[in-house]
Amino acid sequence: MDKNNDHVGRYIKFGTQGPALYKDFTRTDTWRIFRIMSEFVDGFESTSEIKKGVSFFGSRCLPPRNKYYKLAYESAHLLAKKGYSIITGAGPGIMEAANKGAYEARGNSIGLNILIPHQQNPNPYVTNLLEFRYFFVRKYMFLKNSCASVVFPGGFGTLDELFETLSLIQTQRTRNIPVVLAGGDFWEGIIKWFKKELMNEGTLDEGDIKLFKIADTPKEIFKVIDDFYKKYPNLRP
């Protein structure tokens, strides 16, 4: 070891003297890199057996009586019966509905939970649970293991997941998959805004608008996914 840097090794080893940076290595950016790497490794290993994954995104706040909760349940149930694995964020609301639908269809019900200050407890219908500290690692695992994304009404988190998925498909940084916006009434306003403002300004074009489809029933959601892979059989999972 370089004599000029010998003190670094001692401080890391003993943690009892020297600059504060070396007193607790687990609080450094270097340690954070290792933790991020470990999440990716765990994610790759734990999801390696997922086949025909469909990600369900949507609000955690919608109760079982809500029409979109019911739509998510019925859609996941149908897709699970068709052999698809259902992947959610493991929480309540739309996530619970989708996991419940998959679970009661005896399908593969997967939850990618996020560890946040206000603890999100996994819903009881998850049969394969993986937990993450970092949102960006979790989002990567959704995309990596999904052959389709179904997006229900939600807030900032749902919109973040939707727009990142569309952005990555648009820029060809991930494979092309069908993206379904479930519940046309909810999405109508933002789609009008896309066409009136973004397309008029030239920030979106007609091809970008075609990156997603609208569906209002479980059969329509399944049809969007099925039609996509009939059109692009070489992309079929």
Residue 27 lies in a domain: no
CA distance readout (Å), 229 to 79, 98, 99, 111: 14, 22, 24, 25
pLDDT at position 217: 98
pTM score: 0.87
Residue 187 lies in a domain: yes
Q: What mean pLDDT do residues 167-171 have?
A: 97
180-208 pLDDT, tens digit per residue, is 999 999 999 999 999 999 999 999 999 99
pLDDT at position 10: 35
For residues 3 and 15, what is the distance between their CA atoms, to the nearest angstrom?
19
75-130 pLDDT, tens digit per residue, is 999 999 999 999 999 999 999 999 999 999 999 999 999 988 777 899 999 999 99
Give me the chain's average pLDDT, please: 90
116-149 pLDDT, tens digit per residue, is 877 789 999 999 999 999 999 999 999 999 999 9
> Under 8 Å CB-to-CB from 147, ≥6 apart: which residues?
52, 53, 54, 84, 177, 225, 229, 236, 237
Residue 20 lies in a domain: no
Residue 44 lies in a domain: no
Residue 219 lies in a domain: yes
Residue 214 corresponds to which tokens in the numbers above?
């609208």
Residue 99 lies in a domain: yes
Print the domain residue range for 172.
53-235
pLDDT at position 13: 40
Domain count within the chain: 1
Domain CATH number, residue 215: 3.40.50.450
pLDDT at position 25: 62
Residue 65 lies in a domain: yes
Residue 12 lies in a domain: no
